[in-house]
């Protein structure tokens, strides 16, 4: 297994859910962190909590990944640090809206495309040349079961996650021979802020999990950690993770 101690990881969308869980689990392995997100207060709290609990360094970068200029300018200032990155976890993203195609909001589409696809591309484009130079690196993309199966009222979200799968495959092809691993993690129902953002309504979001046991952010972070810890010659390319109560995007058992 790979010892991650002393490595440097950047996690996008680290203020909550899977990103935050990854931050704590990686810190527990002795990984130094660069955490990004839009909510400054939360980033600072997480930094303090991690630095108090673990012996690792945490740098926080507050910016909106959907804003191209803001993102590229800020990352430019941190080129030095980014050139030493061992692990990139492209976690930021989400679903906005849950309406049929003709009733969904164009603004929601744009947010999903800007963050889930374009944001991931901006940051990965900046980091990959350094990983190539260093002849090492591991990129973990947060895809989804929505990147494999399309369901009603989710066309554009599903499209963005299909894009994440395609980008992961493209990266693997173009980086072959450079000792850079690319993993696409594809979870089903995970209980985070995800559903609340999607439905824009707390009650509707909670109803989704009624009578079933969803995955937790920690379940996914553990799978990511396991992928990272594989020996260098092993690349976990894709991982589909459903709760036991979910057989497919169309089948959920509720008691």
Site for ligand 8X3 in 179-218 (CB under 6 A): 188-189
Q: Which is nearer to ligand 8X3, 130 or 209 (CB)?
A: 209
**H or E, element range at 197:** helix 194-199
Tell me which DSSP letter residue 30 carries. Answer: T
* CB burial readout 228-241, b (16+ within 10 A) else e: beeeeeeebebbeb
Nearest distance, CB of residue 157 and ligand 8X3, angstroms = 7
Hey, is 101 helix, strand or coil? helix
Angstrom CA distances, 135 to 84, 86, 120, 181, stand at: 11, 10, 21, 11
Q: Report how far residue 11's alpha carbon sits from residue 108's, in angstroms, rounded to the nearest whole number.
A: 24
If binding is defined by CB under 6 A, does position 146 make contact with ligand 8X3? yes
Nearer to ligand 8X3, 35 or 249 (CB): 249
Applying CB under 6 A, the span of 97-105, 141-149, 172-180, 220-228 interacting with ligand 8X3 comes to 141-149
Q: State which residue, 152 or 232, has the beta carbon closest to ligand 8X3.
A: 152
Distance CA 163, CA 169 (A): 10
3-class secondary structure, 236: coil
Residue 167 binds ligand 8X3, judged by CB under 6 A: no
Stretch that binds ligand 8X3, among 13-21, 65-73, 140-148, 167-175 (CB under 6 A): 140-148
Are 192 and 18 within 8 A, CB to CB? yes
Q: Is 151 a catalytic residue?
A: no
Contacts of 56 (CB under 8 A, 6+ apart): 27, 30, 31, 32, 33, 50
Selected binder of ligand 8X3 within 31, 128, 145, 167 (CB under 6 A): 145
By C-beta, is 127 or 140 nearer to ligand 8X3?
Answer: 140
107-136: contacts with ligand 8X3 (CB under 6 A): none
Q: Is 89 or 145 the residue whose CB approaches ligand 8X3 more closely? A: 145
Among the listed ranges 6-14, 70-78, 125-133, 142-150, the one in contact with ligand 8X3 (CB under 6 A) is 142-150
> Which residues are marked as active site?
157
Residues that bind ligand 8X3 (CB under 6 A): 144-146, 188-189, 249
């Amino acid at each position: 297994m790979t010892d991650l101690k002393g490595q440097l990881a950047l996690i996008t969308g680290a203020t909550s859910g899977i990103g935050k869980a990854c931050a704590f689990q990686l810190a527990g392995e002795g990984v130094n962190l660069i955490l990004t997100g839009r909510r400054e207060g939360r980033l600072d709290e997480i930094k303090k909590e991690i630095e108090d609990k673990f012996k690792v360094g945490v740098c926080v970068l507050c910016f909106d990944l959907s804003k191209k200029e803001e993102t590229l300018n800020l990352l430019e200032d941190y080129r030095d640090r980014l050139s030493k990155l061992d692990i990139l976890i492209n976690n930021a993203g989400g679903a906005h809206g849950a309406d049929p195609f003709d009733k969904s909001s164009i603004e929601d589409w744009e947010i999903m495309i800007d963050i889930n696809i374009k944001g991931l591309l901006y940051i990965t484009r900046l980091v990959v040349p350094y990983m190539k130079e260093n002849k090492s690196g591991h990129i973990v993309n947060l895809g989804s079961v929505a990147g494999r199966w399309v369901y009603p009222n989710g066309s554009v979200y599903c499209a963005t996650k299909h894009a994440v799968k395609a980008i992961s495959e493209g990266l693997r092809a173009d980086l072959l021979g450079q000792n850079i691993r690319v993993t696409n993690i594809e979870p089903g129902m995970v209980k985070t802020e995800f559903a609340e953002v999607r439905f824009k309504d707390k009650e509707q979001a909670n109803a989704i999990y009624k009578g079933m046991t969803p995955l937790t952010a920690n379940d996914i972070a553990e799978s990511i950690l396991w992928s990272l810890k594989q020996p260098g010659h092993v690349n976990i390319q894709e991982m589909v993770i459903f709760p036991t109560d979910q057989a497919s995007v169309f089948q959920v058992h509720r008691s």
